[in-house]
Chain A
Amino acid sequence: MGRENFHRILEETQQDVLRMGSLVEEAITKAVDALARSDVKAAEEILRADDYIDDLNVLIETNCLNLLALQQPMASDLRTIAAMLDIIIDLERIGDHAGDIAQITRNLANEPHLKPLVDIPLMAAKAREMLRESLDAFSHRDAQAAHDIPRKDDEVDRLYRKVFAELIQFMARDPKAIGRASNLLLVALYLERIADHATNICERVVYMVEGVPKKLKRSVVEFAETSRSSEEASPAAAEGGA
């Protein structure tokens, strides 16, 4: 394999990472959309699409290992390959979380909604935006953007705390709602984790561009605050959430 061939395969592999990313992005939106509409058919499509994500994962990993083994890349190229190997792990996990949400849609299919979903779709949109921007930063090798994106995690965490408090309220008021509310709690947790995976991708981009491994600041969900706010939350406030 000549150097020209090496760079062609490296470039194509980077494009495959973006392809995998676009599949994962769509899976997040579709999963929450299917949940909001109790659309079991759409949920099953998401579960099937997870196979494509896994196939791309294997393809990218194989290409990266081949490049490492056969070309002994150095410096920036080596860091790009290392970053890709990490990024696809995060993407694969995000895909799994989308699958988990689709599974919850299947589980809740025959149960009425606690209420129309409001904050969960907002969390999904925000987490997806973070993922898209982190992949843009990867595509453009933009370390500055990669530094900035994790700040958006604060908003996802704020929504998570809000949803958490509201769902606890539902459970406290009506024990029959515990099953549905705890499933929605899991959905919120998966979305919060997706935003964290986007932050991981940003860290890999910073390493890829700057050559220095860096832990980017991320917000920590304060559960003490969450439980306090759930006690303070008025029933009226619970009307418009989740």
Chain B
Amino acid sequence: MAAIVIAVGAAALLPPPLHLAAVIIALFATVALVVTLVPAQSPDGGVPIVESAGHMVPVAAQAVAGATNAGTIGAANETTASLAPVAEPDLTGVLAALPVGVMVIGDDGKIRAFNAAAGELFGVSAERARNRALIEIVRNFELDRRVTATLRTGVEETGELPYSAAHERYLQVTTRVLGGVEGRRSALVIIADQTRMRELEKLRRDFVSNVSHELRTPLTAVKLMVETLQSGVEQPASDEFLGSIAQETERMIALVEDLLDLARLESGKLELRLSTVDIGELCQHAAQAQARRAQTLGVALECSAPEAPMKISADRDKVYQVVVNLLDNALRHTPSGGRVDLAVEPGDGTVDIVVSDTGGGIPSSALPHIFERFYVVDPARARGPSGTGLGLSIVKHIIEAHGGTVEAKSELGTGATFRCRLVAAG
């Protein structure tokens, strides 16, 4: 994004009492926004130069002074010439275009300026907000209190503020004092919506906590069994412990591999090795690989595919992983005596891989979340050790990396159907 430079010296051109230029300067000083109307590049021509607010004032002053002394823009030196077109910027327009909410509150508590971003945050137009008391427009006691405190005492503060209207949001609110005419002060309020940032932080925290939990549980079991073995357990108990240790280790390896796969998929670093794949043959192969497990669980596993080859352009290993993950998920949630069907269904220029089961189904409240990392609907309903909660997330990423879609349909008590749609090879 090209940086934009504004000749802040143009403040002199603006009439009081709003002092929009002063608002902009204070804004820059607070949020360190970069400002110029001329694209600025770094010496290597790559990353745009970011100038701090502190640097901008002398540059802008120089620009204005240069233009004034020379009398004409054309006579200005090289630096001022490049800045000359911004000698009279439309600061109201700049304020309106800023992506953060900006308000100016007069010493009578009335809103004097209110930009479009603030309007979006609070659901009020600038026209409606202007000259109204802040509390009438933004019905938040804490925000009103902070602004009132800044107006009365000159105390400036920055802090987060929960704001709930239709949805709970987290706002970063900064209040600053603006000097006005005859010593009457105004308050500049800058508001940045931090809700998305908060959500990402929560995702990160949950992720770390989930991974720690998933790794710690088998590790604790392994540690205890090793300690027991060290204390001198004899066969056949020792064999049982060694079997359990091997099983737990496999679980940890599977988790780490899933995590690495997911990390590669999410960072877009996974390179698909595309080849022409017969999806029918791939599904038959995957079903055969899971046949023994299905038999052990007492679940009938059937695979149906058209006899004619169904060709898609895909990374064979990755699509195989998709089918295995879906079958694993279905087998995990289908009781003994139930069935799991894997089908390949041709469509109009597409091929669907459909996995359906006769398990307990997924509650409608859980359906939107099942492709999220570590989301497990109800571990108590799964058969045997619960999954890592990553399998379906990996499915979604792989299918989407192939330009396809995946959807799940289910009703409680009637099983679930997962449908992956991929583009057929031309």
Chain A residues close to B by CB (< 8 Å): 11, 15, 18-19, 21-23, 25-26, 29, 52, 132, 135, 139, 240
Contacts and interface: CB of A to CB of B under 8 A. Distances in A.
Interface string B120-157: 00000000000001011001110010000000000000
Contacts of B133: 11, 15, 18
Interface string B96-115: 00000000000001000000
B109 A132 contact: no
Interface extent on B, as a size class? 10 to 19
A11 B132 CA distance: 11
Interface string B76-98: 00000000000000000000000
B164 interface: yes
A22 B136 contact: no
Given A18-B135, A23-B141, 10 more contacts: A11-B133, A15-B136, A18-B139, A19-B135, A22-B139, A26-B141, A26-B164, A132-B139, A132-B165, A240-B365
Contacts, number: 31
A25 B141 CA distance: 10
6 tightest Cβ-Cβ pairs between the two chains A and B:
A22-B139, A22-B141, A18-B135, A23-B141, A15-B133, A15-B135
Contacts of A11: 133
Contacts of B136: 15, 18, 139
A22 B134 CA distance: 12
A26 B163 CA distance: 9
Contacts of A18: 133, 135-136, 139
Interface of B: 109, 133, 135-136, 139-141, 144, 164-165, 168, 365
B135 A22 contact: yes
A240 B366 CA distance: 13
Contact of B140 (A22, A52, A135, A240): A22
Given A15-B109, A15-B133, A21 B139 contact: yes
A145 B183 CA distance: 41
A142 to B, nearest CB: 12
A59 B164 CA distance: 26
A201 to B, nearest CB: 14
A28 to B, nearest CB: 10
Contacts of B164: 26, 29
A22 B142 CA distance: 9
Contacts of A19: 135, 141, 144
29 contacts: A11-B133, A15-B109, A15-B133, A15-B135, A15-B136, A18-B133, A18-B135, A18-B136, A18-B139, A19-B135, A19-B144, A21-B139, A22-B135, A22-B139, A22-B140, A22-B141, A22-B144, A23-B141, A25-B139, A26-B140, A26-B141, A26-B164, A29-B164, A29-B168, A52-B141, A132-B139, A135-B139, A139-B136, A240-B365
Nearest to B143: A22
Nearest to A17: B135
Contacts of A23: 141
B24 to A, nearest CB: 29
Contacts of B141: 19, 22-23, 26, 52
Contacts of A240: 365
Contacts of B144: 19, 22
A25 B163 CA distance: 11
Contacts of A26: 140-141, 164
Contacts of A135: 139
The residue among A52, A139, A240 with the most chain B CB atoms within 10 A of its own CB is A139
Contacts of B139: 18, 21-22, 25, 132, 135
Contacts of A29: 164, 168
Contacts of A15: 109, 133, 135-136
Contacts of A132: 139, 165
A21 B165 CA distance: 13
A237 to B, nearest CB: 13
Contacts of A22: 135, 139-141, 144
Contacts of B168: 29
A29 B165 CA distance: 10
Contacts of A52: 141
Nearest to A24: B141
A225 B109 CA distance: 50
A202 B309 CA distance: 70
A33 B135 CA distance: 24
B128 to A, nearest CB: 10
B133 to A, nearest CB: 5
A63 B135 CA distance: 18
A11 B131 CA distance: 13
The residue among A19, A23, A25, A135 with the most chain B CB atoms within 10 A of its own CB is A19
Nearest to A132: B139
A208 to B, nearest CB: 16
B310 to A, nearest CB: 40
A88 to B, nearest CB: 15
Nearest to B364: A240
A77 B136 CA distance: 19
The residue among A11, A22, A240 with the most chain B CB atoms within 10 A of its own CB is A22
A121 to B, nearest CB: 12
The residue among A26, A29, A52 with the most chain B CB atoms within 10 A of its own CB is A26
A57 B178 CA distance: 32
